[in-house]
Amino acid sequence: LIDSAKLLLTAYATTTTTVPTVIRGEDTASATAFSTGTDFSSRHRTTDSVIWNLDSTSAWTADEIVTTPNIAAVIQHIINRPDWSSGNAIVLFIENNGAGWGVLRRVYAREAGQPDRTAKLVIWYGGGPPQPRRSFRRRRLLRAAEHESSDQG
């Protein structure tokens, strides 16, 4: 079971804009890349969700790390699927939850070409005190290091 899961995001701009937000996952065993806006909006969301109330008291500063609330229920919903396997891709939706069109807070995306500022999912599992076990970026780095060492030995 997952004890805790959080997204680490990098704020794109300094803001105190109030944005009621909900975080859900795509309810699929292995998410695929988005191809169109329609593809994005037609994806099935998990029934489990987490409310993230971004109000004027939760100011963001440009280029600083912002941490979501615990999204373990959303991640657990996805990995509990009988067709899910370790290593499968996961999509998380962070969506405006009623503030109106155009009300937003921006974070860096992978497409910005700044890998040190992209979102990182950190998951704690296994009981006991929270210990960071893996993030997607770390897993890729570990796989690359393992591949390199097997090529040399």
| SS3 at position 66 | strand
Question: 4-40 pLDDT, tens per residue?
Answer: 999 999 999 999 999 999 999 999 999 999 898 888 8
Percent of the chain at pLDDT above 70? 81
State the pTM of this model.
Answer: 0.78
Q: Tens digits of per-residue pLDDT, 62-118? A: 999 999 999 999 999 999 999 999 999 999 999 998 877 778 899 988 766 788 888
- For residue 58, give its domain range: 2-152
**Burial class (CB within 10 angstroms; exposed 0-12, middle 13-18, buried 19+) of 74:** buried
* 135 contacts 122 by C-beta, under 8 angstroms: yes
User: Do 91 and 25 contact (CB within 8 A), yes or no?
Assistant: yes
Residue closest to 109 by CA, chosen among 119, 100, 101, 99:
119
pLDDT level of residue 148 (50, 70, 90 thresholds): very low
pLDDT, residue 66, reads: 96
- DSSP secondary structure letters along 110-145: GGGS-GGGS-EEEEEESSSS----EEHHHHHHHHHH
Q: Count the domains in the chain.
A: 1
pLDDT score at 112? 66
